[in-house]
Structures are given as structure tokens and as C-alpha cells.
Structure 1
Amino acid sequence: MTRTKQKITSLLDTVNLTSSAHKKLGSFSGGMKQRVLIEQALLNDPKILILDEPTAGLDPKERIRIRHFISEIAEDKIVLISTHVVSDIEFIAKEIILLKSGKVVSHDTCNNLIKEIENKVYEIEIGKDDLKYFQKNYRVSNLYHSDDKIIVRTVTDNPPESYSLSPVNPTLEDLYLYIFEQRL
């Protein structure tokens, strides 16, 4: 087997497409096409790899597989990832650069960036009637129902004083909302 064929076989296995190696690209799902693009980008073993939304269209299992793969290849390559899916980079990125309107607004490690919003993320217990108010006036990153109450996760400099709230550990997604959600 030639070196090129060995590389292709290895990459097909890596992106979980070995069983589809002889199928036409037009028959592939969006997620399968995304994996082919990643494989194609790696064929010449580049030292710098730029990936734009590398897990778009993938199911959760494949997203995890590709994230693990990106983490592995980043050991001996520079990998730049452009994405809005912060969970894709939260655990694999050594450094994160946040751009807003084409300008760098933050650049650091994930842990240091998250520290910027410590004591600004809360879970607040509200009634169903208060939900619209919170969604209009606070950055709500998540919500869930608990009995007859709703627990909203908010990122704010000014938490409401008349509600039962608990500070929680911030995530990269919370930071993203804090920096990019300016309507508040």
C-alpha cells in the first residue's frame, strides 16, 4: 500500500468514515461531509490547521470524537478554530481569542477568561410569571423547571435582590453571553 493510501485509510478511520470510503460524496449527510472536509485538510500534514465550525452538523457522539481528534492533533500542530459552539473549545483550547466586530476583546486561557466573570453568574428561583421579565432584562443562559418554580441561570453585574439566588461557577458559554449580549 502506498504512503498516500495508508494516510487516507488512517484518516478515514479517524473521522469514522471507513465504511463509506467508496460511496459518492453527494450521498453523504451534512455531518459526513464535514468529516470529509476535516480529513481533506489533514492530507498534507499541515503544521497550521484552520478549522471553521468543525463540528457543525455532527451528532453528539461524532462531535466528541472530532473534539478528541482535534485535541490530539494539536499536540504537534497549531490548530485555529473558528466557532460559536463554545463547548467545542472549552476543554481543548490552550488559548482563546474572542473577537467582536473584527477586534480582539479578550485573549487568554479558558480558565483565566472564565475568572473574569466569577461572582456574576447566578441561578435564581422565579415564578412562571417572572420568566418574560428575566428574559427581557437579564442574560439568561439556561433555565429549567423545578416543581412549580423555574430556575434561571443569569450572567449579570447586578443580580436582583428580591429573589432567591445562588452564585454558581461560570462557564465559557456564560462568558460568551456576558461579552456578546449587549442589549442589556
Structure 2
Amino acid sequence: MHYIDKAREQLADLVGKVVDSTAGSGNSQTLTISRPRSEVEQFWRDPGKLSEVLGDVAEVRSTEPGIYEWTLNPGADELTTWNTTLVEEDGRLRFVGKTGDDSTADPPEVELTFRDAPHDLGTEVTIRAKTPVPDIPTGAATFKALYRARALLQTGELPTLRHNPSARQAAH
């Protein structure tokens, strides 16, 4: 009976991944983070943590509870500011922007879904991004955000290639 339960669990995970990969639009990336689901979900609600993982792509701040202001391309000559409302659902967070005057347009959105990883390996996080600046959230950028979030959650540090001085003296 144990094998049947395991096969059912694997099938349910596979079906969930297929449904998630075809649902919605925009770029989508998934990564497993070795932390409890509640901790991972809370991480993504923190605008300071969002700014850290987005790095040079965007800065995020909370202007009031549930309202987030995203500044895309900080440091660039031309900035795009994007205001979103956080919509919390079971296993999902959505940062939904306003559509402006055209009510037929889909609103810009960043969606995160959370699922317990198989075999108690942590949390599977899927991110989909559809923003007002379509060139920014490429598959590589969404993966980079997930990768950086995983590093920060698991080690407390962000990966970097910047010079890291040590106690050793350089040879002269």
C-alpha cells in the first residue's frame, strides 16, 4: 500500500507542475528552497527582502499595509514606478498592479506560488512575472530572483562575485 500512496503523491506533484506551467502568462520559473513554507511565504511579503533579491532590477517599499511601490531599473536615467496591491490566497501571493484607463488590458502582476516539496525537502516556489516593463522580467531575471532568495533564506547571504577581502596580505 505504501507504494501506491507514493505513486499517488508523485502523480499529484506532476499534475500540479503541469497545470502550473500552463496556467497564466508571463515568464515562469520554479526552484526548491530548503526552508519551511511559512518562512518562505513570509520572506516574500517583506519589501526589504524583495529589494535585496531583485538587486539592480528593482527596489520595493511598502507605502501602507498590503500596498507595494516598485521602482524598476533603480539607478537608470529613466525610472518606472509601479504600484501593486498584495493579494494573499492559500499557497499564493500576487502583487497586482493597476491597469490605467484601458479596462480590457490584463493588469501587470508578479505571482508566487508555494508548494511543499516532496520528501520534506522544503518549499517549491514558482514565480511568474508580467510587469509594465516587459524586457525586465526575462526568464533569467526571474530565476536570478529565486536563486538569490534561496541563497538568502538558506545561508543568510547573497551570492556575489565582488571582491571579498581576506586577512591574507598580497605578495609584493
Which bin holds the TM-score, normalised by the shorter protein?
Answer: under 0.3
Higher helix share: 1
TM-score (norm 1): 0.22
Higher strand share: 2
Larger Rg belongs to: 1
TM-score (norm 2): 0.23
